[in-house]
Structure 1
Amino acid sequence: MKQLLSSLSYFSIFFAPFIFPFLVWVLSDNAYIARHARHALLSHLIPVIAAIPLIYLMFTAEVLGSVIMYLILFGLIYFLTFVYNVLKGVQVLREYV
């Protein structure tokens, strides 16, 4: 059961990226589940943190190329974070087998 909840924390990027890992982290009394839920929550927050400079750049940039390059970088960060969460969710599920 602990692998399932831990894995769902990572897979929640599909259905509730912040709410589910946060609730699992706060409500869990198991250290294993809480650790994975905390890591999942932090990995879900990475794209949000990366979007802050993007929003700032959109309003202050004088060169459109810098905004476009940061959009590409943001897309890469989001994609890699998404892949990380899926792979980590599968890895945690496979610990059960």
Structure 2
Amino acid sequence: MRENKILSSLCYFSIFFAPFLFPVIVYFLGQGEVKYHAKKSLWTHVIPYLIFGIGILGSGLLGMNDISHAGPFLLATYAVTFLVAIYFFIWNIVKGIKVFSE
């Protein structure tokens, strides 16, 4: 039972050492609650990159292929991505501590 808490907690703390690899490995090898936490932590690691990709694609699709035309949109994309990344970074730390202490 204690190993399950450690693995679940490490999935969230993997933001420091292997943000994608560790939760994927635990997801495929784990069971039950460990698998749930691995999937949840993987999504919280991926979401900032998805937001950044959507923002960059959005600027390309809107015809902003020159940096001088895309300034405000790219700046907003960077700002939103940064805020979401900081939020999920802190959230992963808090969730890792919470899962470990349950």
TM-score calculated relative to the size of structure 2: 0.84
CA RMSD of aligned residues (A): 1.4
Farther-moved stretch of structure 1 (79-88 vs 65-74):
65-74
Q: Report % sequence identity.
A: 33
Corresponding residue of 2:11 = 9
Which of the numbers 71, 83, 89 marks the counterpart of 1:82?
89
Count of matched residue positions in the alignment of Structure 1 and Structure 2? 94
Residue 29 of structure 2 corresponds to 27
Q: Which runs of 4+ in 1 moved over 3 A?
A: 57-60
Where does structure 2 lack aligned partners over 5 or more consecutive residues?
none
CA displacement at 1:21 relative to structure 2 = 0.4
Give the Å deviation of 1:54: 2.9
Counterpart code for 1:14: F
Instruction: Report SS of the residue matched to 2:48.
Output: helix
Q: Provide structure 1 residue ranges, at least 5 long, that are not aligned to the other structure.
A: none
Asked if the contact 1:10/1:89 (under 8 Å) is kept, the reply is yes
Say which one has the larger Rg: 2
